[in-house]
Amino acid sequence: EEAVSLHASLDPDLIVMDAQMPRLDGLGATRRIRRNSADQQSPWIVALTAGATVADRAEALEAGMNDFLTKPLQLTQLSKALDRASRALRGTRVKC
């Protein structure tokens, strides 16, 4: 709920969203943010989760997340995700 509220007031370019949060999980928060956004690619939302299955990734992307990272987070994974976000937000084609 806090992420949804902060999105409305801060208008960030990028959100790293934990998929498993109390009360409103990251998938639900992403769905709310997407409903409230005119541009479905901005903000760029990166899922961060301990769930590393193909189904977990598909569920995150279906909810409107743009990318998917697993815990424990590695610096190289984060760096590549930030590069993909930067290219996407500048309008360059990316594959996640």
Q: Is residue 96 part of a domain?
A: no
Domain residues for the domain of 71 are 2-86
Per-residue pLDDT for the chain (96 aa), expressed as one digit of tens each?
Answer: 887 888 888 989 999 999 887 788 999 999 999 998 776 668 999 999 998 899 999 999 999 999 999 999 999 999 999 999 999 988 866 665
Q: Is residue 8 part of a domain?
A: yes
- Answer for the pair 30, 36: CB distance below 8 angstroms, yes or no: no
Structure-token pair, residue 74: 């590695």
Q: Is residue 54 part of a domain?
A: yes
Q: Which CATH number does the domain housing residue 22 bear?
A: 3.40.50.2300
Using DSSP's 3-state secondary structure scheme, residue 14 falls into: strand
pTM over 0.85: yes
- Answer for the pair 61, 33: CB distance below 8 angstroms, yes or no: no
